[in-house]
Each structure stands twice: as C-alpha cells, then as structure tokens.
Chains A and B, each alone.
Chain A
Amino acid sequence: MVCKILIVEDDDDIRETLTDVCAGEGHDVVGARHGREALDLLKDNVSGKCMVLLDLMMPVMDGKSFLEAVSTELPQRLNDLSIVVFSAGASISHPLVKGFLKKPVDLDEVLSMVNANCTTEA
C-alpha cells in the first residue's frame, strides 16, 4: 500500500531522515518546516487523502495552531486527513489527532503507524 505522507517538522535532519525512510518504503512523501508551510501545501499541492506526521514545537506556526488552522481554514479536507503527532513532550488532546509517537521515535513504530493510518492509495 502506498501512502501520501506530509511530514511537518522544523528540524532539518529529522525531517529529511523521515522523508528518506518513508520514501524508501515506497510512500509518496512531502516535507514542511512548520505549520504554515504544511497548510499552504494542503491548500495548493497535496490533494486527496493524506497522512500528516506533525511535530508540536515549531517556529512560525506550531503543531497546535496548525490543528486549529486546519479546522477553520480547510474544513472540507478534514475527512481526507489522518494526523499523528510526534513530539518529545506529551501529546495533545485534539479531535483531529489519531495517534501519538514519542521522540526519540522508533522507525518500526513510525512505519506501523503509517500503515495503520494510511487511508489513501497514491
């Protein structure tokens, strides 16, 4: 199964590594450095069903603000999105959040989370 995955993470190394690993598994991966960039991608470039791996601590727009912005700015896309939070701290409770991965995250956990939440065939 091939998924469309949006990785929202400000740390370049983590974002690039996750992109490489998920792409290596054959998924269709795109990265964003913060919530605002991710929102713009969802509006213009990434259509259809999509899994979002979301960091919480980020510049410009953090994870929590991204969740709020998605709800208000892209209500028509809510059914398309499957959001998983990954953070060094605690998770947040939000109706859009489907899962949580704690940093330092295990690759197998990431991949099984991707498989569990992958709703789209690219």
Chain B
Amino acid sequence: MDTFNNPEKRFLRSPRGVSDSLDEMGQAFSWRIQADTLRFSFVSPGAERLSGFSASEWREEGFLLRNVPSQDLSQLKYKLAQATKKSGTVDFCLRSFDGSLIWLLSSVGPGKKKQEVQGVSILRERSERLEFEELKRSQERLELILANVADGITVIDAQDNFLYANQAAANMCGFPSPEEMLLTPAEKLMECFELRGENGQAFDPEDLPGRRALAGEKNPPEVCVQVKAKKTGRETWSILSAVPIFDDKGNVKYVVSVFRDFTERKRDEETLKLMNEAGVLFSSSLDYRSVLQSAAAMIVPTFADWCAVYVKEVTQEVPEAIAVAHVNPKKVEWARQLQREFPPDWNAERGVGAVLRTGISEIYSEIPVELLALTAKSDRHLSLLKEAGMKSVMMVPLKSRTAIYGVIALISAESGRRYTKTDLRAAEDLAFRAGMAIENALLYRQAQEAIRSRDDFLSIASHELKTPLTTLKLQSQSSKRSIDKKGYLEPEFTIKYVESVLRQSDRLNRLVEDMLDISRINTGRLSILAEEVPLVALAEEMIDRMGSQFRRLHCEVELVAKKEVHGFWDRQRIEQVLQNLLTNAVKYGGGKPIRVSVEEEEGATAVIRVRDQGIGIAPADQRRIFERFERAVSANEVSGMGLGLFIVRQVLELHGGSISVNSDLGRGAEFVVRLPLRLKE
C-alpha cells in the first residue's frame, strides 16, 4: 500500500517505466549500490553513455571515491545511508571519462538486499547547478550580514506576523534569539515596552513607522523614541524607520523595519548639552559655591541620580559638602543626615578622600555588596547604604592645572545606569571646568583682597605720615606764635622743640624705609650683606639707643644673656628686627617691664626672645600678624602700618631664620626669633 501511495517508489519499482524511457533518451540511467561499501552492483546502459565509463568500470571497487569530488562525496555517503531506510533525493557531481564534471540529480530508495540502495539519476545542466549554488551562497551572505549588523531589522507580513528578525532586533527587544522573537505576535511585543518621545511625553505606538507602513503609508517619517523595558526597567533610545513592500495589486505585503540603537549617541548629546550649560554656568558667576550647587542640580538626573560636591579650601581642616542633589528633596535631607552621622573617611585608601589627595578619579561600574560592606562603618551604616540602592559610582577631582579643590561624586541608583569609561571622561571634563571656575573665583577673591589691602595700606600710610607732620606743623606754628609774641623762644621750649623735630623726622624716615622695603620685597630686591655681628652687644646698643622712647613711656627693659653670640648676618637688618620687636613690645606692653634674652642653641642657631606683659594676641590672630598690612588689633585702634612684622619675617627668612609668637589675649606676648649662625650657601 505504501508503495502505491508513493509515486517515487512506484516509479523506481517499475522495470519498464519512465526511467527506461529516459534511459533510452540518453538523459537518465538507473543503478543499484551497496551503501556500506559504495560499490555499484548494477548500472543501466545510460550510465555508460553519459559518463564514458563502461558498466564494469562503474562496478569496480572505489569508483565513486575516485570520481565524485570530495565536497559532494560526504553528503552522498550520508544520503545513501539514509536511503537504505527511506526514500529521498540526492544530487552530486561525477567526473566523467574525459575529466569534465556532470551533475546528476538522483532519486534514491531502499533496495531489496540489506544495505542496498537503488536509484535513478537524471543529467542536469551544469549552468543550472552553478546558478543554484550562487543563489545559495548569496542567501548565506545576506543572512550573515543581517545577523551581524548593529541595527535591528524585522520583517512582518500584512497580518502582523513576524517573518524575520535579526539578532540585533532580538537583543533590542530583550529576546535571547531571533527564533524566540518570531514566536511572539508583533502586537504582544509592544505591550512589553513603554515609549517616550524626545519631549519626554508618552509616545503612541500607532505613530511608530512600522505601524504606519503597515497601514499603507509609503514613507513614514523616522522617529527617535526612548524605550523602557517594563520587565527590566532598562532604558534605551532608538531611531525607528520602516518601509512597506507592496504586492502586484498595491496591497501591503511586508513591512521592513529598522531600529538603530541611539542610546550612546543620545547620552553623548545630553552630555555635550550638559557640558555647554555647565560652561555657561561656570563663567556666569564668581561665587563658586552657588555655581557648584547649581551644577549639582544640573547633573541630576541627566547624568546621575545622586550628586555630592565636596570642597576643601586652604583654611579648612576637613572638606565641606557644598552640595548634595537628588530629584527628591526628601532624599537630599536623608543623605545629609547620613553624612552627618557617618562622615566620609578622608584618610581612606579609596573613595572621596583618596581622590582629593591624589587627584585621580575612581569609577565603580558595579557596586557589589562586598564593596558596600568594606565602606560601611557599622551594620546600621551598611543597611542605610543598601537602602540607597547605589548601582554605579564615579568620583572625580575638582581640579585646575595647579591645584585640587575638591571632589564630585556621581551616583547612579534608581535609573540603573552603569557608568562607563566614556562617562568618566565626561565627568572629569565637567569637574575640570568646575575646577577652573573655582580657581578663577579664588584668584578674583585674592585680587579683591589685594586691592582692599592696598586701599587699607594707603589709608593707613597717609594717616601714619600725617601724624608726625601734624606734630611738626603744630610745634613750628606754636614756636612762631611764641616768637611773634615775645620776640624770642625760651631755651627749654627750644630744646623740647628740636628733640621733637628730630623724633618726627626719624619717624618719617622709618615709615618711608618700611614702604621702600615692601617695594623691595614685592620685587624680590631685598638683599642682605653679611658680616660678623656680636648679637648681645647689638641688642644692648639697640636698647640703649631706644632708651628715651622707653623712658617716656616709663617702660623698663631687661637684657638677659649668658655670653656673647656671634653670627654672620646683615647688621642693619638685624638692627631693624630688634627695633621692630622692641617698638611693638613698648607699644603693646602697657608700660610693664620688657625682657629680652639672647642665647645660642646647639652651636648653630641664635635665639632672641622679646617678652612683654601687655594686651597679648589671640591665637586666631597669631598667624595673621606676620602678613602684610595685618595686625592683631584693628587699624582704628593702634597706629602703625602693620608692615613691621611682615618685614621682620621677610628679613629673617632671607637669613634662613624664622619668627614665632607665644601669646594669649591679656597675657602678654613672647616673640621668638631663630637665626642660623651662618648663612647657607
């Protein structure tokens, strides 16, 4: 029964059927072969005619092995083995007697004996075979190209069924392989995603180019949409385009859709936009604190879900969190609370502290629990960190070309974004721009302070110059008035007058010298001329020279020294140092005794101590007093230009020495000068 229902088998069994007719026409022949030994037991006369080999040659052992090209032989052996059980077809090439190839299309089926296969082979034109192979190769090439293009490509039929999808399309739609995607109806597929347009609004799937093409639109415009997979929350950007293919009657037969993953480009675009906005922002103000706060707010949520900015100015011991940003204000408060409870470890080997110290960025594309555990300071801290749901972190230094000012930490959490090296480069670029903005702001501040100091200096200098001038003018006018009245000047008045004139001219000279010294310091022209100086003798001489000043203010000065201390210094400059320190001690000493001591320390350093018992200097002011135009008390309170100690420090530093002060408010002050006995070469 089976045989009769199968026309192929019927044909093969018929001894004088179509095969014989074909044989007679010279286009076909029949044969029998043992599938295990590949040895023919019978070939019909057509075989001799078509191949040029005799029937006995056909029946020789190894005939097929010798005359079938190897690329066809393995397939032929396999098909013959199958044909021992089941009918089928096989086509193969045979090298004919004259060496040319003939192509044989064969129907095969089980023979009567065990392992026997019988078959009928028809001669096919070789050109047909080449055409067929070329078509096959071209299809394979196309398959290969489509499978490997970065763009997703799908084909649906008019009934909305997927006919084709490449690997990229499957990946973009969240399927492991195209085959699985093809099993899902197109309309079901759309339910897996949420679409948003470039304006951030929900995008109607019916406006997608594929749907419009299916509805017959010839050139639906391409669209750029944000695609969020409902299952994973992953967000990507795609550019979608589609073309309809029509049948003869003008009906849509297929729709070919192309999806281009635009996520990276979109991110780059957004980053570029952010950079431009940041550039404008950073150049908009010199108040870098408010600029950094705005920058943090700008970074969230485009670039990060959380953003924290830390800055450490020279005067600050610990960096300060200038900005913490998140789209949800409640979370910002939560983060601030977390920071207060668990402030960052600025000495840690990794994290914000390390970035601040080294200026080298850190990136953690993934944050495993182990890393959190390493950072956490307690179980509670760990559970709070887990609660934040951090997915990826970057920490970049806020630095300019010359200094590191702080750190920007960017954290991705609910967006699920994973930072890449490209993101890190963008963040570094942003932080560098911010660093330059800070540097500009600080330079501006310094310039403003310098201007303020200069104005203060001019105001103080004019006041200071006017004081001796006032005395000189008043005394000269008073003398003249006396002479006008009496015709002469009383001797005691004359002496007093002359002494005062000398004192005022000394004072004017000192002021002018101080100003010249400042100018020399500013231009690096302050120089020293070293000679051997006996320091104790010099101190004695200075105290003696300033005796009248001490006496006028009823101030006692005691000099304590065990032995002479010799050193190589600029004598005039050391005189200037002593005079300055003694003048200050008198000025601020409240009329109480002043103690000066000179000693040698370890045979290498001379130490001068000048101690008063006056108003003292608050610890907060002690560093300041050695700066230009600075003094512990306000300009309104004490006369003097505030240059003395600055010049003293510069002179001492030029000698390789130093000056410091031990004091407290109301407890007097002790200035300590250290001078190497010899100048370093």
Interface residues, chain A, with chain B CB atoms under 8 Å away: 10-14, 17-18, 20-21, 24, 56-60, 62, 64, 88-89, 103-108, 110
In contact, A21 and B637 (Cβ under 8 angstroms)? no
Residues of A within 8 A of B463 (CB): 57, 88-89, 103
Task: Please determine whether B637 and A103 come into contact, CB atoms closer than 8 angstroms.
Answer: no
Q: Is the CB of A14 within 8 A of B470?
A: yes
B466 within 8 A of partner (CB): yes
Interface segment among B255-263, B426-434, B476-484, B621-629: the answer is B476-484
Q: How far is the CB of B462 from chain A (nearest CB, A)?
A: 6
The residue among A10, A13, A58, A106 with the most chain B CB atoms within 10 A of its own CB is: A13
Residues of A within 8 A of B481 (CB): 21, 24, 107
Q: Contacts of A18 on B, CB cut-off 8 Å?
A: 474
Interface string of B454-481 (1 = CB under 8 A from A): 0000010011001111111111011001
CB neighbors of A among B535-554 (8 A): 552-553
Q: Which residues from chain B contact A103 at a C-beta distance below 8 Å?
A: 463, 466-467, 469-470
Residues of chain A within 8 A (CB-CB) of B467 are 11, 13-14, 88, 103
Determine how close the nearest CB of chain A comes to the CB of B177; give it in whole angstroms: 87
| Residues B473 and A106 in contact, CB atoms below 8 Å apart | yes
Q: Which chain B residues lie closer than 8 Å to A107 at the CB level?
A: 473-474, 477-478, 481
Cross-chain contact B474 with A21 (CB below 8 angstroms): yes
CB distance from B468 to the nearest CB of A (A): 7
Please judge, given known A-B contacts A10-B639, A12-B552, A24-B482, whether A108 and B469 are in contact too, CB under 8 Å: no
Picked from A10, A17, A58, A64, the residue with its CB within 8 Å of the CB of B475 is A17
- Residue from the list A24, A104, A106 in contact with B466, Cβ < 8 A: A104
Question: Across the two chains, which residue of chain A brings its CB closest to B493?
Answer: A20
A20 to B474, CA, bound (A): 10
Point out the residues of chain B lying under 8 angstroms from A24, CB to CB.
Answer: 478, 481-482
Say how far B470's CB is from chain A's closest CB, in angstroms.
Answer: 4
Closest chain B residue to A107 by CB distance?
A: B477
What is the bound-complex CA distance between A60 and B588, given in angstroms? 10
Q: Across the interface, which residues of B come within 8 angstroms of A62, CB to CB?
A: 636-637
Sample (26) of A-B pairs whose CB atoms are under 8 Å apart: A10-B639, A11-B470, A13-B467, A17-B475, A17-B478, A21-B474, A21-B481, A24-B478, A57-B635, A57-B636, A57-B637, A57-B638, A62-B637, A64-B636, A88-B462, A103-B463, A103-B466, A103-B467, A104-B466, A104-B472, A104-B473, A107-B473, A107-B474, A107-B478, A107-B481, A108-B477
A104, B462: Cα distance in complex, Å: 10
Q: Which residues of B contact A57 (CB under 8 A)?
A: 463, 635-639
Tell me, yes or no, whether B82 is within 8 Å of chain A by CB: no
How distant is A47 from chain B, measured CB to nearest CB, in Å? 27
Tell me if B's interface is mostly helix, strand, loop or mixed. helix
Contact of A104 among B470, B635, B637 (CB under 8 A): B470
Q: CB of B338 within 8 A of chain A?
A: no
B584 at the interface (CB under 8 A from A): no
The 9 closest A-B pairs by CB, nearest first: A107-B477, A88-B466, A104-B470, A88-B463, A13-B471, A104-B469, A62-B636, A103-B466, A103-B470
Q: Is A105 within 8 A of B636, CB to CB?
A: no
Closest beta carbon of chain A to B668's beta carbon, Å: 15
Does B504 belong to the interface (CB within 8 Å)? Answer: yes
| Bound CA–CA A2/B232 (angstroms) | 100
Q: Give the contacting residue for B473; candidates A12, A56, A89, A105; CB below 8 A.
A: A105
Q: Within 8 Å CB of A106, what residues of B?
A: 473, 477
In the assembled complex, which residues on chain B have CB atoms less than 8 Å from the CB atom of A110?
A: 474
In the complex, are the beta carbons of A60 and B473 less than 8 A apart? no
Contacts of B482 in A (CB 8 A): 24
Q: Give the chain A neighbours of B637 by CB distance below 8 A.
A: 57-60, 62
Q: How far is the CB of A51 from chain B (nearest CB, A)?
A: 17
What's the least CB distance linking B458 to chain A, in Å?
Answer: 11
Tell me whether A89 and B478 are in contact (CB under 8 A). Answer: no
A108 to B474, CA, bound (A): 9
Q: Does B633 contact A (CB under 8 A)?
A: yes
Say if the beta carbon of B503 comes within 8 Å of chain A: yes
- CB neighbours (8 Å) of B636 from chain A are 56-58, 62, 64
A17–B474 contact, CB under 8 A? yes
Interface pair A11/B639, CB less than 8 Å apart: yes
Question: Judging by beta carbons under 8 Å apart, are A13 and B503 in contact?
Answer: yes
Report Cα–Cα, A103/B503, bound state, in Å.
18
Per the bound structure, the CA–CA distance linking A80 and B199 in Å amounts to: 79
Is B500 in the interface zone, CB < 8 Å from A?
yes
Distance, CA A59 to CA B462, complexed state (A): 18
Q: List the A residue with the shortest CB-CB distance to B472.
A: A104
Would A11 and B471 count as touching, CB distance under 8 A? yes
CA distance A64 to B634 in the complex (A): 13
User: Which single residue of chain A is at the shortest CB-CB distance from B553?
Assistant: A12
| Cβ–Cβ < 8 Å partners of B504 in chain A | 13
- Least CB distance from A25 to B in Å reads 9
Contact check, B468 vs A13: say whether CB atoms are below 8 A apart: yes
Q: Output the least CB separation between A88 and chain B (Å).
A: 4
CA distance A60 to B639 in the complex (A): 12
B residues within 8 A CB of A20? 478
Q: Which residues of B contact A21 (CB under 8 A)?
A: 474, 478, 481
Closest to B481 in A: A107
Task: Give the docked Cα–Cα distance between A103 and B474 (Å).
Answer: 10
Name, among B471, B633, B635, the residue most crowded by chain A CB atoms within 10 Å (CB to CB): B471
| Most chain A beta-carbon contacts within 10 A, residue among B466, B470, B477, B478 | B470
- Chain A residue nearest to B478 (CB atoms) is A21
Q: For B467, B482, B553, which residue has the most chain A Cβ atoms within 10 angstroms?
A: B467
State in angstroms the CA–CA spacing of A59 and B590 once bound together.
11
Q: Using Cβ atoms and an 8 Å threshold, which residues of chain A touch B462?
A: 88
A14-B467, A59-B638, A106-B473 in contact; A89/B459 too (CB < 8 A)? yes
User: Could you tell me the distance between the alpha carbons of A33 and B477 in the complex, rounded to whole angstroms?
Assistant: 23
- A104 CB contacts on chain B under 8 angstroms: 466, 469-470, 472-474
Q: Which of A17, A18, A60, A105 gathers the greatest number of chain B CB atoms within 10 Å?
A: A17
